[in-house]
Amino acid sequence: MKRRFFILLCACMEIISLQAQTASDFRRQHLELWQEADSYVKTQRSGWQEIWHGFGVDSMLAEAVVFPEMVRFSKLQNQAETVALRLRYAAQGSGLCDYSIGRFQMKPSFVEKVEKRWMKSELASQYGQSFDLSDSRDARIARIDRMEDELWQCVYLSMFIRLLYLDYPGLAELPSEKQVAFVAAAYNRGCPLPGVGQGKKDYLEKRVAVRSFHTLMIAGKNTVRYVYSEIATLRYKELQRMR
């Protein structure tokens, strides 16, 4: 009887725990990492903002979208995965090696998608930025070099946001916090960039509430997961109060 009661109690506690994992819970439970990320951003913000503003991107939105990734960033893991990319991705491509690297945790497959869509858009000539899209080792090595550069990650983020607004009509008309949630979900969960005006907003909306974000290197069955877009929106609200 006692054993059954204990099992029931544990199950109830687990359910309550899972229900309680909001963005505010994430911030509280990872407060030290949150504050470290915030301190780092303060040392880099002016340089990042210069790039984001240069591409016509809302700097508060851009920072909020990638902030959850900065909270869980690990220097050791990043070094290991960068070495793996240089060894395997450079030789074989993202199909066999697709680790996330840098403060913004970008994958080669994400960057490849952004580069390809960018080169097909009017934005490439407008901003005078082009890429070698060939499936060659040299092109992949050059891509990794850019991905390791934090300012280049700001450029890629800017390009992604501009393309997202270009391809998904109506996104710019949403309330600002809703825009942050949609862009954050698209950044974290991935989304197609189908062409000007061809994106379906419903596709993004389905990803906004996905509970998949965690801070562990390898997630297990009992890993606590959070909604990425909620964390990004919480950060956006913080930035608004700091203005």
Question: 14 in a domain, yes or no?
Answer: no
Question: 41 in a domain, yes or no?
Answer: yes
| Core vs surface per residue 121-155: b (16+ CB within 10 A) or e | bebbeebeeebeeeeeeeebeebbebbeeeebbbb
Q: How many domains does the chain have?
A: 1
Question: 4 in a domain, yes or no?
Answer: no
pTM of this prediction exceeds 0.95: no
- Counting Cα atoms < 13 Å in the Cβ hemisphere of 219 gives 10
Question: 184 in a domain, yes or no?
Answer: yes
pLDDT in tens, 168-221: 999 999 999 999 999 999 999 989 999 999 999 888 888 899 999 998 888 888
Question: 233 in a domain, yes or no?
Answer: yes
Question: 6 in a domain, yes or no?
Answer: no
Question: 17 in a domain, yes or no?
Answer: no
- Domain range for residue 170? 23-242
pLDDT in tens, 107-140: 999 999 999 999 999 999 999 999 999 999 999 9
